[in-house]
Amino acid sequence: MPIDLLPLGTLTIEIDQHTVIAGTPAGTRIVGEALSCRWDSERVSARQHGKMAHDWLMLNADGSVSVDARLLLMTDDGAAITITYRGKAAKQPAEGGVLLTTPVFETGDERYLWLNGIQAVAKGVRDGAILTYEMYQLA
């Protein structure tokens, strides 16, 4: 049975700063803080709420990257939505690595409850301090 991809729009993240923690048992941890996030689509328009957007990358011994990110967004019409995603890249995004992630969403707002029941996939690329994901709902 085939899998369909339904567009969920573009998530744009402007990276503020990184904290590097080298020598952990698992590898080098790189914690990125977002200056801003914006999700634009036909069904959702939202922006970062406060400073609640972080990405905890792990630089693995083989040079690959593991991603663990959490974002809190507020829609333009006042609904709080969280996006949590994990993923992988063959190399660091700052060095041209393409991020492949699996976003999941949480909200209590009736207008967006449909997000709670979907699984998404996303592909992200970084250009300078801007990380851009194209997100898709699996159907």
Confidence at residue 76, expressed as pLDDT on a 0 to 100 scale: 97
Place 99 in a pLDDT band, splitting at 50, 70 and 90: very high
Query: What integer best gives the mean pLDDT of the chain?
Result: 96
Q: Mention the CATH class of domain 5-138.
A: mainly beta
What is the pTM assigned to this prediction? 0.95
With CA atoms as reference, report the closest residue to 39 among 115, 139, 138, 127.
115
Q: Once rounded to an integer, what is the mean pLDDT over residues 102-109?
A: 98
Domain ranges of the chain: 5-138
Confidence at residue 84, expressed as pLDDT on a 0 to 100 scale: 98
| pLDDT above 90: percentage of residues in the chain | 99
Between the alpha carbon of residue 5 and those of residues 9, 68, 88, 117, 137, the distances in Å are 12, 23, 19, 15, 6
Per-residue model confidence as pLDDT tens digits over 49-89: 999 999 999 999 999 999 999 999 999 999 999 999 999 99
Confidence at residue 86, expressed as pLDDT on a 0 to 100 scale: 98
Rounded distance, CA 40 to CA 132, Å? 11
Per-residue model confidence as pLDDT tens digits over 106-138: 999 999 999 999 999 999 999 999 999 999 999
